[in-house]
Amino acid sequence: MVHGEVWTIKEFFTYPNEYIYWPITIVMYPYITGLVAGAFVLSSLYHVFGVKQLKDIAKFSLVFSFALLPVAMMPLLLHLTQPFRGIEVMLTPHFTSAIAAFGVVFSTYGMIVASELWFVYRKHFVEKALELKAKQSRSGVEGIFYLIYSLLTLGAYDISEHALEKDEKAVGLLAAIGIPVACFLHGYVGFIFGSVKANALWTTPLMPVIFLCSAVVSGIALCIVTYAAVVSMRNCIYRRKKKDNPSLPDDPTIKPVDIESTRTTVKYLIAFLILAFVLELLDMIFRIYTATKSWDILRVVIFEHDLIKVFVLQYGIGNILPFILLLLPGLTVRRAVIASTCILFGVFMMRWNVVIAGQTFSSSYSGFMEYHMPLAPVNLETLKEGLAGLIAVIVTPFILFFCFNKVMPVFGKPDSH
Amino acid sequence: MINRREFCKKAMVMAGGIALPLSAFQLFDPKSLHAEKNDGNSTRWIFLVDTHKCVGCGFCVKACKSENEVPFETNASRTWVERYVVTLDGHTYIDSPKEARNGFTSTKIDQQHHGLKDVKNEDIAKGFFVPKLCNQCDKPSCVQVCPVGATFRTNDGVVLIDRKWCIGCGYCVQNCPYGARFFHPVHHVAEKCNFCYHRITKGLKTACVDACPFGARKIGNLKDLSDPVTKVIMNDRVGVLKEEYGNKPQVFYLGLSKEVR
C-alpha cells in the first residue's frame, strides 16, 4: 500500500498519486508548537512587562512551555517515513526549504527557554545542591537528586543578593528576546503551510499571522486550564491528607486558584482571540469576494463537506461560545476553565481544518478525498500516525511536566522574582 | 599605543579592504560568467505528448512500473493516463482507473467512491486521453522545499531523488502542483518519474516512449535544434500544464483542451 492510502477515501477524479499525506500527526505539530509559543508569551508578560498579577502562572507556564518543547518535534518524527534520518534536517539543512529552518529556529528557542529557566531556578538549584551536600547519609534517590542539582548549578554557587539581581536582569532580557523568537517559531510554522503554492487553501500570506494569533490564544488557554487543574488537584490532595491526619501543619503554598491572576490572563486571551478570529474571517471574506479559480472547490469543502467542522466546531464552540462565556460579568475560575477548554478545542479544530481540509480536495479541482483517522493500529504506519500516535503526543507533555516539576517546582518555593 | 576604539576602527577598515578584492574574484570568475551566458550544457531533456495519438492502452504505465520497479499493484504511479469525457451539456468527467495500468477497458467513468458512471454515447461531445508524468520543471517547487536537499535538479534538467537521503516528510509531495509524487511502497521515500534517467543518459529512450505503440510520447533534447521533438516545440503550437504556478514545466502537449487539469 502507498503511504496514506489506508486512511484516504477518494471521490470523483483525483490524480492517482494524491492521498492525504499529512494526517493527524501534522495537525498536532502546529497545535503543540502553538501551545509552546503561547505558554512562553504568557510567562513573558510577567517577566518583561511586569504584569504582577501573572506572577504565579508565569512560572508555571514557563516550565510547561519547556515540557511542551520536545513534544513539538514528536509528531514530526512520528510522521517521517524515515525517522532515523530526521536529524539530517539539522545537520544538512537545505535552506531554500521552509522546513530546513526548523533546526535553527527550534534550537534557538529551546536554548532561550532553557537559559531563562536556569536563571529563574538557579537559586533553587544551589540551595538544593548545598542542602543535599550537607546531608551525612544520602539515600539512593537523594544521591541522584544531588547529582542532578549539582550538575544544574553549572558550578555557579553564588546566590548573594547582587548575583540574584543579575539573574533577574538576565531573565528579563531572555524573556524579551524570547518573545520575538517564539513568535517567529510559530509564524514560521504558518509559513510552512502558507508557502505551499500548490495548495489553494493553504497559500495565503495571512497564514503565519493567523497561526501566530491562534497559537498565543491556545497557549494561554492551556495554561489557564492546566494551572487551575494542578492547583485544584494539589488542594484536593492536601485536604484528603489533612482529613486523615488532622495534625498536619498548614502549608502556605496551598491556596485556591487565584481569580485575579486568572482574570488578567483572560484579558490577554480575549484580545488575541478577537485578533485570530478577525484575521481568519478576513481570509475567508477575501476568498469569497475574489472568487478565483480555486474558490469553486474550496466553497464545496468549507460550506458543504466541512460545514460542521468549520462553523459549528471551530467558530461556534471554539470561538464564539468562549468569547461570550468570558465576557459575561462575574467571571469565575470554573467559567474561565470551561471557556479555555472550548478555545483549546477550537484551535485544534482550526489546525484540523487547515491541515486536513487542505488535503481533502484534489489539486485537479475535480474531486475530493476524505480522511479517516485509523483507530486500531494494523501496522507501523497506522500505529505511528493513528490514534496511538495522537495519544502519545497528548500525554507526553504532561509526563514531562511532572518530571520537570520534581526538579523545578512550580509551586511553593518563593523564588527571587 | 593603540586604544580599543582605534583598534576596532582599523580592524573594520582592514576587513573591508580584504573583502572587496575577494568579492571581485567572485564577480569576474570566468567560469561563472560563461555559465551565466550559456549554462554550459548541451542537453536539456524535454518531453512531448501528442494527445491526439493516445488511445489509452496503458502500455506506458505498465512499462514504467516494470522498468522502475514500482510494484504493479501499487495504487500510485510515476506516469498515468487520464480520460476526459465532455458531454453535450458541458459537463466534464475525468478518470484514471488504476492509473490506467490496465488501459481503459470500460466505457464507464470511474468515480472512485461513487462507483462507475455510465455516460451514453449520444450524450458525449468529445473524449480524449491525456498521459501525465513529472514535468521536470525548470523551477521545481519540490526541489525548493526539500528540507535536506534529497531531491535536486541535474544539469540536463531532470529532477532526481536520492533515496538514501530522503527523510520522507512529504513536503515535496504537497508542493507539486501536478500530483507527480508519491511514496514508494517498498523504499518508503518520495518517488516520481525521472524520465528514466538511467536509460536516457545511455542513449536509450524512456520505457514509456518505447512502449507507446502510437508515438504519443516522445523524449527530446531542447538544446539540439535538429531534434525532431525540439522542432515540434519550436514550430508547432504546444501547451504546458498549470503554467500559473510558475514552475516552468518541460513536458509539452499537443492538443491540450481547456478541460485538462
| Interchain proximity B179–A362, CB inside 8 Å | yes
Range in A46-55, A261-270, A296-305, B55-64 the model is least confident about: A46-55
Range in A239-243, B7-11, B18-22, B208-212 the model is least confident about: B18-22
CA of A154 vs chain B CAs: smallest distance (Å): 32
Question: Cell 498548614 belongs to which residue?
Answer: A250
In angstroms, the Cα distances linking A175 to A72, A101, A227, A404 are 20, 22, 20, 20
pLDDT band at B89 (very low <50, low <70, confident <90, very high): very high
Range in A223-227, A350-354, B18-22 the model is least confident about: B18-22
- Residues A21-65 have pLDDT tens digits of 999 999 999 999 988 888 888 888 888 888 777 787 888 889 999
Average pLDDT over residues A176-192: 89
Does A417 map to a domain? Answer: no
Nearest-angstrom CA–CA distance, A401 and A403: 5
How large is the greatest C-alpha to C-alpha distance in chain B, in angstroms?
99
Across A142-146, A246-250, B39-43, which has the greatest mean pLDDT?
A142-146
pLDDT band at B70 (very low <50, low <70, confident <90, very high): very high
Q: Is the pLDDT of residue B38 over 70?
A: no
| Interchain proximity A196–B175, CB inside 8 Å | yes
Nearest-angstrom CA–CA distance, B105 and B85: 15
Residues of B in contact with A12 (CB under 8 A): 94, 111-112, 114
Please give the tally of structural domains in chain A. 1
Q: What share of chain A is helix, strand, coil (3-state, %, to 5)?
A: 70, 5, 25
Nearest-angstrom CA–CA distance, B58 and A22: 30
CA A95, A96, A101: angle at the middle one, nearest 5?
45
Does A35 map to a domain? Answer: yes
Question: Cell 487543574 belongs to which residue?
Answer: A229
Residue B241 · residue B135 · CB < 8 Å = yes
Amino acid letter for position A26? I
Q: What share of chain B is helix, strand, coil (3-state, %, to 5)?
A: 30, 20, 50
Does A1 map to a domain? Answer: no
Nearest-angstrom CA–CA distance, A211 and A31: 9
Q: What pLDDT is attached to residue A412?
A: 65
CA of B141 vs chain A CAs: smallest distance (Å): 9
Q: Among A15, A178, A206, A42, which residue's Cα sits nearest to residue A112? A: A178
Name the grid cell of B196: 528514466
Q: What pLDDT is attached to residue A190?
A: 93
How would you class A178 by CB atoms within 10 Å of its CB: exposed for 0-12, middle for 13-18, buried for 19 or more? buried
Domain enclosing residue A119, as ranges = 22-407
Nearest-angstrom CA–CA distance, A379 and A158: 54
Closest partner CB to A85 (pick from B80, B112, B167): B167
Nearest-angstrom CA–CA distance, A167 and A163: 6
Range in A137-151, A277-291, A399-413 the model is least confident about: A399-413
- Residues B202-214 have pLDDT tens digits of 999 999 999 999 9
Q: What pLDDT is attached to residue A416?
A: 44
Length of chain B: 261
Q: Among B204, B160, B208, which residue's Cα sits nearest to residue B48? A: B208
Nearest-angstrom CA–CA distance, A377 and A98: 32
Does A9 map to a domain? Answer: no
Average pLDDT over residues B65-82: 97
Q: What pLDDT is attached to residue A203?
A: 95
Residue B47 · residue B251 · CB < 8 Å = yes
Q: Which residue has the higher pLDDT, A193 or A49?
A: A193
CA of A94 vs chain B CAs: smallest distance (Å): 5
Residue A11 · residue B113 · CB < 8 Å = yes
User: Which of A1, A3, A7 is the best residue to mutate to test the B interface, defined by the most B CB atoms within 10 Å of its own CB?
Assistant: A3
User: Which of B73, B82, B85, B94 is the best residue to mutate to test the A interface, defined by the most A CB atoms within 10 Å of its own CB?
Assistant: B94
Q: Is the pLDDT of residue A196 over 50?
A: yes
Q: Among A173, A160, A172, A212, which residue's Cα sits nearest to residue A190? A: A212
Q: List A residues 55-94 in contact with B (Cβ-Cβ < 8 A).
A: 76, 79-82, 85-86, 88-89, 92-94
Q: What pLDDT is attached to residue A117?
A: 93
- Per DSSP, helices labelled H in A245-301 are 259-290, 295-300
Residues of A in contact with B132 (CB under 8 A): 15
In angstroms, the Cα distances linking B248 to A17, A221, A365, B240, B245 are 21, 45, 20, 9, 8
| CA quadruple A277, A280, A284, A290: dihedral sign | positive
CA of B119 vs chain A CAs: smallest distance (Å): 14
Does A393 map to a domain? Answer: yes
| CA end-to-end distance (rounded Å), chain B | 75
Average pLDDT over residues A112-141: 92
Question: How many helices (DSSP H) and strands (DSSP E) are in chain B?
Answer: 8, 12
Closest partner CB to A94 (pick from B77, B149, B180): B149
Nearest-angstrom CA–CA distance, A386 and A382: 5
Please indicate if any CB of chain A lies within 8 Å of the CB of B171: yes
pLDDT band at B29 (very low <50, low <70, confident <90, very high): low
Nearest-angstrom CA–CA distance, B145 and A193: 11
In chain A, what percentage of residues exceed pLDDT 90?
A: 71
Sequence-distant (6+) residues with CB within 8 A of A18 are: A10, A362, A363, A369, B179
Does A364 map to a domain? Answer: yes
Q: List A residues 217-256 in contact with B (Cβ-Cβ < 8 A).
A: none
Average pLDDT over residues A217-238: 89
How would you class B194 by CB atoms within 10 Å of its CB: exposed for 0-12, middle for 13-18, buried for 19 or more? buried
Q: What is the mean pLDDT of chain A?
A: 91
Nearest-angstrom CA–CA distance, B22 and B14: 13
Please indicate if any CB of chain A lies within 8 Å of the CB of B75: yes
Does A14 map to a domain? Answer: no
Does A13 map to a domain? Answer: no
Nearest-angstrom CA–CA distance, B154 and B15: 37
In chain A, what percentage of residues exceed pLDDT 70?
A: 99
Nearest-angstrom CA–CA distance, B53 and B70: 26
| CA quadruple A178, A182, A187, A188: dihedral sign | positive
What interhelical angle do A102-134 and A55-79 show, nearest 10? 130
Report strand pairing: B116-117 vs B92-95: unpaired
What is the layout of strands, in order, in the sheet containing B80-87? Answer: B92-95, B80-87, B124-132
Query: What is the chain B residue with the closest CA to A198?
Result: B177
DSSP 8-state assignment for residue A312: I
Sequence-distant (6+) residues with CB within 8 A of A325 are: A335, A338, A339, A342
Give the three-class secondary structure for A413. Answer: coil
Q: What pLDDT is attached to residue A230?
A: 84
Nearest-angstrom CA–CA distance, B109 and B104: 9
Domains in chain B, start-ordered, CATH in brackets? 45-136+194-254 (3.30.70.20), 141-191 (3.30.70.20)
